[in-house]
Each structure stands twice: as structure tokens, then as C-alpha cells.
Structure 1
Amino acid sequence: MSRAKRVLVVGGTNFDVIAQAERLPLEHEKLRGTACAVTPGGAGANTAAGLVRQGCSVRLASAVGGDTAGMMCLQALRERGVDTSLVRVEAGARTSTAVVLSSGGGKRMMTFAGADRGLAFDAVTEGDVRGCDHVHVVGEPTQALRRIVALAHGAGRSVSVEWNGRDMSDLAAKASLNFMNADEAARVPQASAADAATNARRCADLVSGDVIVTMGPEGALWATADGQLFHQPTTPVDPVDRTGGGDAFDAGVIAGWLNGEPPAACMRRGLDAALHVLRKVGAHP
């Protein structure tokens, strides 16, 4: 029996407050919601939990505050099988929070910074990196993240980068996989906003690595560094809540790729994982 792939996820942990309604409110409108939930969240934590569901052994480098919200997040992650030994608990700080207004197909989000995750990233050692097979990073392209990516590259460990609305090109040069959505791919230099396939190929050429682009109901594209392009359709659904769908997709693709599956199978894994999340409120089961 083969050993589970060991993944180090470096990213944020949030306490999510998700308010759901049939539509988003208008200016000055008091709209009655249909559901409200509080749940652990954050792209790093969501992806870590998703990778566990995909059969990986996962360690998360992140930070929470020493408040009730932070303890709830830690407990939930541990219950889901995530190794939280690299999650820094900052006494006196609050846990980062996200407030999400969700209307099924639509979403608006506000985030509030909390515990300093940069200090948690600074504490990651070369030994921590060598103890894994793969490193996945998400967050601001800070010096702390650059150091971890450089450690992974020096140790011969593969790296994936979630762009998440940011310019992660300085980290992408050392990444095997780059994740972005269609809007992010359309913002790269010389992109053609109307042609996702051209944008995906352009991104792959710029970063000299594989780029995976999610396109909502149109599925996903995979552009390789050598010019190949793969498209994988998805199953149309009416989403209950989109929170964490992209993180679940990343987890499925990474797990498939680490198991040597071809791009189509990896994207199918990711899309199925995203569909599971889109059918409920919040990113965690």
C-alpha cells in the first residue's frame, strides 16, 4: 500500500461568518436572510482540510488568535485530520475574520486581519519543508512566503501557488502548479479578456509553469509550460454557497497530480470536490 502524500500548506486561517439570502441587499435595504453560519475558513485552512479529504497527510502553517474563535478553528481542523503543530496561537490577538454575504451564485466578502501569520511562516524550518512531498502556498507574496518557496525548491520539493487575486509571479517561477480563476488570468500582461484559453496559455508562458484556470460553470482549463491545453467541463449546479469552492478545487487537483494522474483526471477531481462544497454553506463539512 502506497504512503499518503505529505503536503505542507502555508496560508491563512479565518473565522467565517456567512450570511445567506436569496439575493444581495440593495443600498439602505434591510433584507431578511435565509441562513447564517459561523465556520472555520481561510484559503490555507480550507485547502488543508480539502487535501485530507483527498487522502493526503497534511500539515498547516498558519496563525490564529488566542480567542474563542481561534480555539474553534484549531479544534475543527484537528477533527478533520489536519496537523496543526505549525499553527501559531498569538495570545492577545484576535483571529482573522471574514464576513461573507452569499446569495448562492453571488458572493461579497469583507476580511479583517488578526493574528500575524507572517510570524508563523517565519517559524517554518528547512526540516519542516524536507518532511513533506509538496508545498502549497496562498497569501500575500511576502518575504516569508518567498523563503519557504526557496526552501522547497532547494530541497527538491514541488510547489503549487494559489494566486487568489494577487500577483504571485515572483513565486510562480519556482512553482509546478499555478491556480487562478478566469478573471485573474485576464489581468496578466497581453491577456485577451474574451478568450480564457489564450489567457491560460499566456500565463503558462509567462511563469514557465503549468497554469490551471477555473471558469465557473464552464469547468477548468490546464495550460502546460510546453504549450498544451486541456479543458475539463463540469456539472452545472445551482450553488448554495460559493465560499471555499476554489480551495476545494485546488486540493483535488494537487492530490491527483501528486498521484501521477493526467490533467483531465486532476481537474475532474478538483471540480467534483468544488461541487461538494458549493452544495452547502461554508467550506467545511
Structure 2
Amino acid sequence: MATRPRPLVILGSINLDLIATAERLPQPGETVGGGVLTRQPGGKGANQAAAAARLDGSSRLVGAVGDDEPAREMLAALTAIGVGTVDVAIREEPTGTALILVDAFGENEIVVCPGANSHVTLDGIHLDHDDLLLCQLEVGVDVVLAASRRHPGFLALNATPAQPLPQELVTRCDLVIVNETEYASMPELAHARLVAVTFGAEGSAIFEQGKLVARVPGEKVDVVNTIGAGDAFCAALVLALRARMSYPDALAVANRVGAHAVTQAASQPVLSPLSHYLTGSVGS
């Protein structure tokens, strides 16, 4: 009997998302009324771990939270959907918080208050050669660089928020995932081993050492919220590549997962198993 692959390991942030939804986003110095406030679990690390668990049955999260009620609520919710949280450290600092504005078209603006996310370490964390590790930059490039040196296996980096990357990290990554704006602002990625670039509703592409090797159009859906779409895309793409799908097929599956995510208001949307997205359908 075939051995089941190890759960995807995600090193990243865990935030409480405070989301104000209004007809439009305010201009600098402007107040927009009539908003609706919601409170939900978020953080790119937690979002990607939740997506991976829903797509693959389980995942493992490495991060940090405060000793507070939001952390207890979020960790309980993650555990309930199959995210392993034993590697989430409890710090003296409060759990990270993201202040998010969303307009009627699903576009958003986000300010992140990192809190405990600024104190993530790899103390006591074991990474096996068979582990697939997916990181982001909300926990700091130094932590990600340390993980890249320690981890002997596959390393994927969702390089957001965009910032200059050490050449050592770019060279080490098996896969970097960015959106088109991030790709344009990070010239060091031009000759990275493998870069997946998302173009919103226009789909996604893969560049191998700067050369376009695959591009797949996006899925047309009614957009409710784009916050969790990129995170769902990242988890799906890594899992699809683990399954040895071709680049076009892997992008198509990840596009469908991202499209399903934007039809929901949650930062950690409910997703179907990855196999559901092998066809052209979007949704549960």
C-alpha cells in the first residue's frame, strides 16, 4: 500500500483579522460611513495552513501567538479542520492583528500589526527531508532564511509582503510565488529557479529562470472577498506540484481553488479536497 505523503508544513503568521466592509475604500484623510465590521481568523501562515488542511486532509503550522483569547479561539478552529498546531509557540506579546478594509468589489487594503509574529523562532522545530515547507515574509526574512538553511527538502516561498530578498534565499527556493506587482518590484526573482506569478482574474503563469514556461487563464466568478484567495492558491499550487502535475495543470487547479476562495467572505474559506478541482468546476 502506498505511503501517504507527509502533511504540508507552513511557516508563517497567525493574525486576528478585523475587517471593515464598505461600498468603497476611503481616500487619504477621508471617512467612509456605512461599514460592516467582522472578526475572523487570518494571517498568511494560518490561512495557507487552513487551505492545505482542507485540500489535503491535514497540514502543520509553525508560528507564534500571544497568551490571549483570540489565539485560543484561532488555534482551536485550526485544529478542528486538521491543522497541527503543536509547533505554534506562545509568546508574551499579543497575537498579531490585521486591520482590513474591503470594498463592494472585493478589493482590499491591509495594515498588519505583527505582535507575536515578530518573535517566531525555529527553536525545537524539526524539518525532515520529506517535508514540503511553504513560507511567507510576514514573520520576517531572517526567520525564513534560517529555515531555508535548516530544511533539507522542498522549499516554497510566498514572497509577500514584497521586500529585497537575499540572493542566498532566492537561490535556495525551489518555488517562489508572487503576484504581478510583487514580481515587478523584486528584480532578483528574474532568474530564480521557478516563479509562479498570479495576475488576479487574468490567471497565473510560471517562469523558469526568467523564461515563461506556462500560463493559464483565470476562472470567472462573482468576487466577494480576495483576502484569502492568494493563500489558497499558494497551498493548492504546492500540493499540485507535489502530486507531479504538469505546470499548466498545477496552475489550472490552483486557479480554480483561488477562484473558489474569492466567492466566500472568509479569510480561511471552506474548500473541497484538491481532487475536486481537477475538473473545470469551481465550488463545493
Which TM bucket (shorter chain)?
Answer: 0.7 to 0.9
Instruction: List per-residue Cα deviations over 1:129-185 (Å, max 9, x = no partner).
Output: 117521111125533321211111xx3x11001111223353121111100110111
CA separation of 1:204 and 1:134: change in aligned 2, threshold 3 A: farther
Match of 2:7 in 1: 6
Distance 1:122 1:250 in 2: 22
Q: 1:223 aligns with which of 207, 211, 221?
A: 207
Distance 1:147 1:25 in 2: 39
Q: 5+ unaligned residues in a row in structure 2: which ranges?
A: 271-284
Q: 1:163 aligns with which of 148, 153, 159?
A: 159
Match of 2:150 in 1: 151
CA contact (8 A) 2:96 2:114 kept: yes
C-alpha displacement of 1:221? 0.8
Match of 1:192 in 2: none
Task: Please tell me the residue identity of whatever aligns with 2:179.
Answer: N
CA separation of 1:29 and 1:64: change in aligned 2, threshold 3 A: same
CA separation of 1:236 and 1:6: change in aligned 2, threshold 3 A: same
Task: Please tell me the residue identity of whatever aligns with 2:183.
Answer: A
Distance 2:112 2:210 in 1: 38
User: SS of 1:73's equivalent?
Assistant: helix
**Greater displacement, 222-231 / 107-116:** 222-231
C-alpha displacement of 1:4? 3.2
CA contact (8 A) 2:237 2:254 kept: yes
Instruction: List per-residue Cα deviations over 1:100-136 (Å, max 9, x = no partner).
Output: 1001332111111211553x323143xx111752111
Match of 2:182 in 1: 184
C-alpha displacement of 1:259? 0.8
Distance 1:124 1:245 in 2: 31
TM-score normalised by length of structure 2: 0.86
Task: Please tell me the residue identity of whatever aligns with 1:19.
Answer: A
Task: Please tell me the residue identity of whatever aligns with 2:246.
Answer: P
Q: How does 1:129-140 map to 2 (within 5 A)?
A: 129-130=127-128, 132-139=130-137
User: SS of 1:260's equivalent?
Assistant: coil
Distance 1:76 1:132 in 2: 27
Query: How many aligned positions are there?
Result: 263
User: SS of 1:173's equivalent?
Assistant: helix
C-alpha displacement of 1:203? 3.1
Match of 2:122 in 1: 122
CA contact (8 A) 1:25 1:31 kept: no
Task: Please tell me the residue identity of whatever aligns with 2:149.
Answer: A
Task: Please tell me the residue identity of whatever aligns with 1:181.
Answer: N
CA contact (8 A) 2:15 2:42 kept: yes
Instruction: List per-residue Cα deviations over 1:21-73 (Å, max 9, x = no partner).
Output: 2211344434102x432111111111111111221642111011111111111
Task: Please tell me the residue identity of whatever aligns with 2:17.
Answer: D
Q: How does 1:24-103 map to 2 (within 5 A)?
A: 24-26=25-27, 27-33=29-35, 35-55=36-56, 57-90=58-91, 92-103=92-103
Aligned alpha-carbon RMSD (Å) = 2.0
User: SS of 1:231's equivalent?
Assistant: strand
The alignment-based identity, stated in percent, is 25
TM-score normalised by length of structure 1: 0.85
CA separation of 1:228 and 1:186: change in aligned 2, threshold 3 A: closer
Q: 1:203 aligns with which of 189, 202, 225?
A: 189
Distance 2:33 2:26 in 1: 6
Match of 1:195 in 2: none
CA separation of 1:186 and 1:142: change in aligned 2, threshold 3 A: closer
CA separation of 1:261 and 1:112: change in aligned 2, threshold 3 A: same
Distance 1:281 1:69 in 2: 19
Task: Please tell me the residue identity of whatever aligns with 1:167.
Answer: P
Distance 1:45 1:116 in 2: 11
Distance 1:226 1:181 in 2: 15
Distance 1:144 1:19 in 2: 31
